[in-house]
Structure 1
Amino acid sequence: MEANAPQFKLILGSSSTARRKILADMGYQFTTMSADIDEKAIRKEKPEDLVMALAEAKAEAIIPRVSIGESEGDAEPTLLITCDQVVVYEGVVREKPSSEAEARQFMKDYANGHAATVSSVLVTNLVTGSRRGEWDKVEVPLLIYTQYSISRQIYFHDIPDQVIDKLIEEGIVLYAAGGLIIEHPLILPYVKEVVGSTDSVMGLPKALTERLIKEVL
């Protein structure tokens, strides 16, 4: 962070290792909390609406557990970041795999094809109640800016069965939207192209997060 940047406390409302790493790489110190909501109970037709609704539900679940009264007396405000992400493949929304078999099928489908990630970021100022969530969407060849999510295209080579087996054995893919973790060393050699920034694909776009933080302060 810049030396003259506003001072504040930061809570990341996510248990994602990738999001924690991205936020730390941005230079922030923060604590983490998990919403533990029933994500399947929230349904929206459009992936953009779904990820935003989930980010809002996570914020609403976490806020009552934060001691806002103490925050109001602090010189530094407290900000909460909540996020969500889905993968869209052939027009169908994919969330976290429900089984090893589904995770396997997801990864096989991506071979020689492409998937899009749709991610949301919501930042809430727990003292003022100010809340901002936005999205931009990247499509080839047009760049379209809209609100609430970030969409990125990922193209893959064939992913060998033995690689898929190892990923499923590790279990990480079962907790990733669409079973998609492009940053994993086993997957990296089979990623043909990523249209958009890697941090967006990993679930926390840096530039958007920075801007939303500034807007709620």
Structure 2
Amino acid sequence: MTLWRGKSPLILASQSRARKMLLANAGLAFEAITADIDERGIQSASGLSGPREIALLLAREKAKAVSIGHPTSYVIGADQTLALGDRLFNKPAGRAQALAQLRDLAGNSHALNSAVAVARDGKIVFEDVSVARMTMRHMTDAELMSYLDAAGDAVTTSVGAYQLEGLGIHLFERIEGDHFTILGLPLLPLLAFLRREQLIAI
């Protein structure tokens, strides 16, 4: 049974396993459609440098890109940035880059900025950004190599080279922020918006 009450299907403009899991666990039926956009190109052309603003820009662009082809649907776009001070991280290109990122993050606190935007008829009707503070423990190169061996190719699928819901939990000593923000979808404000629009049953 789905709690979705919209006349058109709810759409998630992402193939993120974590985001799909969060929506499904919340009882919402949805379609997942990848947003075909050049994220790095859009970020570069925007001139933005703040991690919060970049995450929100990309969430908006994903939602709008899919919404154009599905004008009557509510389309959810989401994006997440990782910032260590002023430095922004992207998904590592391979194991060597993942190791370099983890060396920089180990022993420090970084911020995850998770943005969500909802579009309908190609226009943004809702947006929100939530922040989580993540403190990695001090780790030796041997420990980092053991983690990379165990995690395998998964380290290249997310910024920071970790998935907190998996082996990445071993990297941390303190976490401040809600679970949904960390997984890349500010679910509570999103559900509150859908509720205000009378789109969900609860």
Q: Same fold (TM over 0.5)?
A: yes
Counterpart in the other structure of 2:183? 202
Counterpart CA distance in 2 for 1:60 and 1:6 is 21
Unaligned runs of 5+ in 1: 72-77, 135-148
TM, length-normalised to structure 1: 0.77
Counterpart in the other structure of 1:162? 146
Pick from 49, 52, 57 the counterpart of residue 53 of structure 1: 57
Equivalent residue pairs, number: 189
Paired amino acid for 1:65: G
**What is the identity percentage for the equivalent residue pairs of Structure 1 and Structure 2?**
24
Counterpart in the other structure of 1:190? 171
Whether 1:132 and 2:126 are equivalent positions in the alignment is yes
DSSP 3-state at the match of 2:68 = helix
Unaligned runs of 5+ in 2: none
Q: In the alignment, is the contact (CA less than 8 A) between 1:119 and 1:200 conserved in 2?
A: yes
Counterpart CA distance in 2 for 1:57 and 1:7 is 22
How far residue 179 of structure 1 moved from its aligned partner, in angstroms, is: 2.1
Q: In the alignment, is the contact (CA less than 8 A) between 2:148 and 2:155 conserved in 1?
A: no
Summarize deviations over 1:120-158 as a string: whole Å, max 9, x none.
Answer: 10012349x561102xxxxxxxxxxxxxx2111111224
Pick from 43, 58, 81 the counterpart of residue 76 of structure 2: 81
Counterpart in the other structure of 1:144? none
Deviating above 6 A after TM superposition, structure 1's stretches of 4 or more consecutive aligned residues are none
Alignment CA distance shift 1:13-1:189 (3 Å): same
**Backbone CA RMSD of aligned residues:** 2.3
How far residue 82 of structure 1 moved from its aligned partner, in angstroms, is: 0.3
Counterpart in the other structure of 1:21? 21
Counterpart in the other structure of 1:153? 133
How far residue 210 of structure 1 moved from its aligned partner, in angstroms, is: 0.6
Counterpart in the other structure of 1:12? 12
Paired amino acid for 1:98: A
Alignment CA distance shift 1:216-1:95 (3 Å): farther
